[in-house]
């Protein structure tokens, strides 16, 4: 009872281990036999990539006389998420916080001052309305352009809150302009 591994033009066989054997054990044995690094190849059985090294071989329905295809890669494949994912998410959160801090310190005081003064439609006041509207819209577009991974819950929530806050400021400005327009 053996399993055949096809690797390009080469073929080699090994005894079918017990059904509760982890795929990682087979992957290790193949790695030692072929001298290919453990994470530098894929195993394919019946057209499906055997990804889960913690799965028992019975989950892949390996039986006697099965044939596994080995595909080697030039660059090792990461079996776990890269450790920089956390720092990438933190970097995105920092970018969101920075954009929001800029809006709060640079634009919000000017917006509050403009909205507190009576509207008299002077050219200077109209110019300030346009300037603030444009800068808020640019900030909103920068926030909207930030992309996060599906599992970056904190980054996604912070981005959503930041977009909502900046959109609220833009709406306040637009609502002030609407009655006279």
pLDDT at residue 115 greater than cutoff 70:
yes
pLDDT at residue 72 greater than cutoff 60:
yes
CATH code at 130? 1.20.58.120
pLDDT at residue 76 greater than cutoff 60:
no
pTM over 0.95: no
Distance between CA 90 and CA 131 in Å, rounded?
Answer: 31
Closest CA to 175 of 102, 111, 92: 111
In this prediction, residue 144 carries a pLDDT of 86
pLDDT band of 107, cuts 50, 70, 90: very high
Q: Is residue 153 part of a domain?
A: yes
- Judge contact between 34 and 7, C-beta under 8 A: yes
Q: What is the mean pLDDT of the chain?
A: 85
* Structure tokens that stand for 28 in this block: 């290790």
- Tally the domains of the chain: 2
In this prediction, residue 167 carries a pLDDT of 95
Q: What is the 3-state secondary structure (H, E, C) of 125-163?
A: HHHHHHHHHHHHHHHHHHHHHCCCCCCCHHHHHHHHHHH
CATH code at 19? 3.10.20.90
Q: What is the enclosing helix (H) or strand (E) of 13? A: strand 10-15
Distance between CA 172 and CA 169 in Å, rounded?
Answer: 5
Q: Is residue 78 part of a domain?
A: no
Judgement on whether residues 14 and 42 belong to the same structural domain of the protein: yes
DSSP 34-83: HT--TTSEEEEETTEE---TTSBGGGGT--TT-EEEEEE-SSPPPSS--T
* Structure tokens that stand for 122 in this block: 């002077």
Domain extent at residue 144? 84-180
């Amino acid at each position: 009872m053996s399993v055949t591994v096809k690797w390009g033009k080469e073929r080699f066989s090994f005894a079918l281990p017990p059904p509760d054997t982890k795929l990682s054990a087979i992957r290790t044995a193949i790695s030692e036999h072929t001298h290919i690094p453990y994470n530098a190849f894929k195993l394919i059985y019946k057209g499906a990539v055997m990804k889960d090294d913690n799965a028992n071989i019975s989950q892949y329905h390996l039986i006697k006389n099965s044939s596994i295809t080995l595909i080697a890669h030039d660059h090792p494949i990461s079996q776990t998420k890269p450790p920089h994912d956390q720092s990438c998410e933190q970097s995105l959160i920092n970018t969101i916080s920075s954009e929001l801090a800029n809006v709060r310190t640079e634009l919000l005081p000017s917006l509050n001052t403009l909205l507190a003064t009576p509207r008299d439609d002077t050219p200077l006041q109209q110019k300030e309305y346009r300037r603030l509207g444009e800068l808020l819209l640019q900030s909103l577009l920068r926030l909207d352009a930030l992309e996060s991974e599906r599992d970056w819950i904190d980054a996604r929530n912070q981005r959503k809150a930041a977009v909502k806050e900046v959109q609220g400021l833009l709406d306040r400005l637009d609502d002030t302009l609407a009655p006279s327009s």
